A and B are shown apart, each in its own frame.
Chain A
């Protein structure tokens, strides 16, 4: 994902940055290509956060509309296109979650099982995409439960470190070091794959 194309893009297809450049020229088909590339991932992330397919669809639609409206503001220096999209989607989903506390409470009662052990059920087909997915799944599964929990509460529930400490009844320093240790371990395991965007060279 660090590369200009997603791990499952084929040789000869435009990079993400090229798609953004075409979007700036009002080329709607470039947005469609971006959607084809990342729609599934954005929807999956939104669904994990808001827990309701209808709301997740709302978040995903809003994410791509915001990407269209904000196509001039995307700055490659601040991260790759999918990071940007995931950032928009996550913020939107967390906002939605916070604006509907009743729904958030219901989700809390459900206590969804940790996702780290799940196996990806939809395979886009490309071997390197599968490799990255497998690596992420394995890396998360390899984390101690307490570290994985800290990461998930932060990323999917949108809680600050202090809120996580309160939620778990743990000292703030403990939560901070769990988060740091988890991210450091994930970085060590995943950075080589993220760096090269799977097995394909960076083009942007």
Chain B
């Protein structure tokens, strides 16, 4: 539908006069609208002829020499790189097996830890969701018991985002208190990943909501908060994954 609004945007687009977000919305629109795509092409043709209306200035005669010499130098460099390329190609090829080995090792460790936890924690069985999470490849974040030296924890973040936390060494809490896992972020408020209690052995194994992006997560901590759950970490850090990266 070529309405007035979109024609204005198309005209400005062809002249390179839109900001990036407006440009993106025109791109999305013309991808789905043949009439506007055709109109845009016509405007782009017009824009490209505008310099024909200028007083033509002949380019400096030495310009082609510079272009030609640079192209030759680049081609020569590429030929040299091509000779070195078997090693580069091998490294490129070897990268994926290395990643696969690392992921397999992580998976094996993950499963081994799960078995260990099951063996050592006869308390409430983890839900099937948590078990499923534990079998997925991902990264492991190790916590130190900064506020409770006998406590430790491992957070597993699956490659597709889900996470689970295995904790040991925390004390049981009264009903009105809960342990809470936090992702402390720069630029936005801390996000709660899970609330949990521990069994009589001090163990817990819970599913964790992991933020979509871990890029701005500065620290991951476990605190004790009033139940059912706090909106921001107020208790002291019992477990701390700093520095976690």
Contacts and interface: CB of A to CB of B under 8 A. Distances in A.
Contacts of A83: 44-45, 47-48
Interface string B38-73: 000111111111111111111110011011101110
Chain A interface, DSSP helix/strand/loop, else mixed:
helix
B55 to A, nearest CB: 5
Nearest to A186: B46
A72 interface: no
Interface residues of A, number: 69
A120 B51 CA distance: 10
B129 interface: no
B66 to A, nearest CB: 5
A179 B12 CA distance: 7
A22 interface: no
A154 B8 CA distance: 13
A183 interface: yes
Contacts of B55: 44, 115, 118-122
B75 interface: yes
Contact of B45 (A45, A80, A115, A160): A80
Interface in B26-44: 41-44
A35 interface: yes
Interface string A129-173: 000110011011000000000010011001111101000000000
Interface in A75-100: 79-80, 82-83, 86-87, 90-91, 94
A41 B44 CA distance: 16
Contacts of B4: 180
A39 B59 CA distance: 7
A53 B8 CA distance: 34
B19 interface: yes
A120 B45 CA distance: 19
Given A47-B57, A119-B55, A162 B19 contact: yes
Given A32-B68, A39-B59, A180 B7 contact: yes
Given A35-B67, A60-B63, A190-B49, A120 B18 contact: no
B49 A180 contact: no
B117 interface: no
B231 to A, nearest CB: 39
A85 to B, nearest CB: 9
Nearest to A185: B46
A154 B12 contact: yes
B15 A43 contact: no
A57 B63 contact: yes
A20 interface: no
Given A32-B64, A48-B54, A136-B53, A194 B18 contact: no
A2 interface: yes
A32 B63 CA distance: 11
Interface string B1-30: 000100110011011111100100000000
Interface of A: 1-2, 26, 28, 31-32, 35, 39-45, 47-48, 53, 56-57, 60-61, 64-65, 68-69, 79-80, 82-83, 86-87, 90-91, 94, 115-116, 118-122, 132-133, 136-137, 139-140, 151, 154-155, 158-162, 164, 176-177, 179-180, 182-184, 186-187, 190-191, 194-195
Closest A-B pairs by Cβ, 7 of them = A154-B17, A183-B11, A122-B56, A43-B59, A154-B15, A45-B51, A83-B48
6 contacts: A1-B45, A43-B59, A87-B16, A120-B54, A190-B46, A190-B49
Given A42-B59, A82-B48, A183-B46, 13 more contacts: A43-B63, A79-B48, A83-B48, A87-B48, A120-B52, A120-B56, A121-B55, A133-B52, A160-B12, A160-B17, A179-B11, A183-B14, A195-B45
